[in-house]
Amino acid sequence: VPPSVDVFVLHGSMPLDEQEAALAPAPAGRRKVVLSTSVAETSLTVEGVRVVVDAGWSRIPRYDAVAGLTRLHTVRVSRASADQRRGRAGRTAPGVCYRLWDVHEEHGFLAASRPEIIDADLSSLALELADAGIADPAQLRWLDAPRPGPFLQARQLLAQLGALDAQGRITPHGKRMAALPLQPRLAHLVLTAQTRGQLPLGAAIAALLEERDVVRAEGFGGAPADLRLRTELLQRGGDGGALSMYGARADRDAVRRVKQGADDLVRRIDGGARLQPWDDAETGALLALAFPDRVAQRRAGAEPRYLLRNGSGAVLPKGDSLHDAPYLAVAELEGQPPEYRIARAAPLTLDEIRGDFSEQIARESAVMWDERSRSVKAVERRMLGAITLEEKPQRDPDADAVRSTLLEQLARVGVGAWPWRESAQRLRERLAFAHAHDAAWPDVSDAALVSSRSEWLGPFLDGARSWGHLEQIDWYEALAGLVPWNQRAALDRLAPTHLDVPSGSRIALDYRDPMAPVLAVKLQEVFGWTTTPMLFDGRVPVTLHLLSPAQRPVQVTRDLAGFWKSSYFEVRKELRGRYPRHPWPDDPLTAEATRRAKPRGT
């Protein structure tokens, strides 16, 4: 910009002197440009403004109930806010507003911004109401009532912080929390720190989290996440020399304000005492008490990825000093799911978790399929929400749970991957043939077998724990259990496994196509068979694959009588020279069927 132009930034968390400089009139002969957040929408007067350039967007806080935190979202400005912004240009003299959107876009703008109570964290409101003896906000009249879901979640958090008892009434601890000018999480942190003799540290943490971060990142990298770096800054009066190795610097003005805030908290709580030096060792433990839903456990792998107690995922910036901490207490998250970025946190030990959350740690038995060993794995776990703190093998798991896990795994891999034995596979094909021609027979399709697997296969899984055990099951008997005993003989009659052919051989039938069962047999073995054999009490003809002596099909037919009258003679003519040791009679209906060739030399 030209030397005669001064550029200022204006937002609510700036130091007071910088805000005053942005609001002050420009000196004669100089031009002032103010880059502002929506704080300039209010009745605030910025002296000398003649031109407003409105980008048409707003950054508004919205409470994310899943993550349990408030995040800023960029949304289109409402028409009311746009009019308010335009008014900045005409407060002290005529002015111009340039709107950076097409006029027709305004049809999609909201008439007014959503009331803050709809999108806000309601824990402070819920604590105030509880302190007044009100558990249900419906008892009051509201311009905009708080939503039931977020309000219930807020009360659940207060119960977790010890502010409400089992009946939902405020506790003495909750009353002390309500008396402090802090969010409930931070009020709980400070009061707990006092009982542990760590009030200065607790006040420092609360003051740090109430303010904008006192650590500023240099360049494009994020500031280091470790909250202990911030508490050390307060102790050193803003000396941030150690931050340079992390590519960051200290905001000395912010440090000064935060330290003053911590001092005020100590005097308010401890009857005029002043802020004293503290030990940072319990930073993580105190932080976890304020944010119990954000206790985090490092996931396996090289990347510093974490699982939060509430089930959300989070990740540290690459190279962060906390990257190898097995547990963290997370105060601030940024970004979007499925994996938030950890902005401020402190390391936590397993012993601290066990000590402070012993009543909330649940014991559970888990039975699951382990793909690596291809077996059922049964473990006992100690869980803090979604986090597994301890896991050990379970010696005697529940038999029903083991059976259920095996059945679930079978459904997951699909019928085609089951360890069928050949006999069971042939039985299934016969049953599919019977069902295709009479729906009264059991349905053995993939879908039917999966949906009914617990009934027909479940009884055969006693003692089974692995895929190897599944391979040893008598799958034929399990599948046969679908057929009542009095019907099994009928199955053998309607869908026999083999057919006797004129040569005396007993040939297996192939039922892979339930609409066209196949008998593959050498042509010489069916001399004398005048008609096509039938199945299912004479209703379904067999598809004959008549084979050459080399076991290659020379004719596929369901009309054996027609074959003898016509096609046979073409086959005879073509093959008898190639296979002279095999009979090729002129009249196949009266010839003797055989499965043997003539001896050599005859």
Q: Which helix (H) or strand (E) holds 402?
A: helix 399-413
Q: pLDDT (tens digit, 9 = 90+) per residue, 535-576?
A: 999 999 999 999 999 999 999 999 999 999 999 999 999 999
Q: Would 147 be classed as within a structural domain?
A: no
Average pLDDT over the chain reads 90
> Which segments of 61-109 does DSSP mark as H helices, in order?
79-86
Q: Which pLDDT score is estimated for 271?
A: 79
pLDDT at 432 over 70: yes
404 with 524, same domain?
Answer: no
Phi, then psi, of 139 in degrees rounded to 5: -70, -15
Region of residue 16 (left: phi > 0; alpha: psi -120 to 50; beta: else): alpha
Q: Would 165 be classed as within a structural domain?
A: no
285 with 208, same domain?
Answer: yes
d(CA 576, CA 79): 96
431 with 548, same domain?
Answer: no
441 with 378, same domain?
Answer: no
257 with 337, same domain?
Answer: yes
Residue 452 three-state SS: coil
85 contacts 109 by C-beta, under 8 angstroms: no
500 with 538, same domain?
Answer: yes
**For the chain, the helix, strand and coil percentages under 3-state DSSP, each to the nearest 5:** 40, 20, 40
- Residue that terminates a domain, selected from 408, 439, 472: 408
Q: Which pLDDT score is estimated for 562?
A: 95
Q: Which pLDDT score is estimated for 561?
A: 94
* CA-closest candidate to residue 441, choices 497, 514, 533, 512: 514
Q: Which pLDDT score is estimated for 600?
A: 67
d(CA 332, CA 347): 14
Residue 310 structure tokens: 């509430």
CA torsion sign for 430, 435, 436, 438 is positive
Out of 38-47, 352-361, 579-588, pick the least confident.
38-47
Q: Would 160 be classed as within a structural domain?
A: no
Amino acid at 563: F
- Give me the sheet containing 518-522, strands edge to edge: 498-500, 506-510, 518-522, 543-547, 553-557
Integer CA distances (angstroms), 57 to 60, 182, 340, in order: 10, 30, 23
For the chain, give the number of residues: 602
pLDDT at 440 over 90: yes
Q: What number is the average pLDDT over the span 57-84?
A: 78
Q: pLDDT (tens digit, 9 = 90+) per residue, 315-372?
A: 998 888 899 999 999 998 888 778 899 999 999 999 999 999 999 999 998 999 999 9
- Residue that terminates a domain, selected from 68, 89, 114: 114
d(CA 145, CA 152): 13
Host domain of residue 187 = 180-356
Q: Would 322 be classed as within a structural domain?
A: yes
Show the 3-state SS of 175-205.
Answer: HHHHCCCCCHHHHHHHHHHHHCCCHHHHHHH
Show the 3-state SS of 561-597.
Answer: HHHHHCHHHHHHHHHCCCCCCCCCCCCCCCCCCCCCC
d(CA 447, CA 453): 10
322 with 188, same domain?
Answer: yes
Q: pLDDT (tens digit, 9 = 90+) per residue, 280-290?
A: 899 999 999 99
391 with 431, same domain?
Answer: no
d(CA 447, CA 414): 9
Q: Which pLDDT score is estimated for 23?
A: 85
Q: Would 589 be classed as within a structural domain?
A: no
328 with 189, same domain?
Answer: yes
Q: Which pLDDT score is estimated for 62?
A: 77
The Cβ-side half-sphere exposure at 506, using a 13 Å CA radius, reads 3
Q: pLDDT (tens digit, 9 = 90+) per residue, 358-389?
A: 999 999 989 999 999 999 999 999 999 999 99
Please report the DSSP string for 280-345 in residue order: GGGHHHHHHHH-GGGEEEEPSSSS-EEEETTS-EEEPPTT-TTTT-SEEEEEEEES-TTEEEEEEE
Q: What number is the average pLDDT over the span 118-141?
A: 91
User: Please, what is the Cα angle at 11 between 5 and 14, to 5 degrees?
Assistant: 95
CA torsion sign for 454, 458, 463, 464 is negative
Q: Would 592 be classed as within a structural domain?
A: no
83 with 102, same domain?
Answer: yes
Q: Would 544 be classed as within a structural domain?
A: yes
E strand residue ranges, 28-108: 31-36, 51-54, 57-64, 69-76, 96-99
48 contacts 26 by C-beta, under 8 angstroms: yes
50 with 191, same domain?
Answer: no
19 contacts 10 by C-beta, under 8 angstroms: yes
CATH of the domain at 99: 3.40.50.300
Q: pLDDT (tens digit, 9 = 90+) per residue, 214-251?
A: 888 876 667 889 999 999 888 887 776 667 777 788 88
Helices (H) and strands (E) in the chain, counts: 21, 23
- Residue that terminates a domain, selected from 426, 454, 485: 485
Domains contained in the chain, number: 5
| Residue 424: band (very low, low, confident or very high) from pLDDT cuts 50, 70, 90 | very high
374 contacts 467 by C-beta, under 8 angstroms: yes
* CA-closest candidate to residue 112, choices 75, 142, 77: 77
The Cβ-side half-sphere exposure at 518, using a 13 Å CA radius, reads 12
d(CA 154, CA 229): 30
367 with 447, same domain?
Answer: no
Q: Would 154 be classed as within a structural domain?
A: no
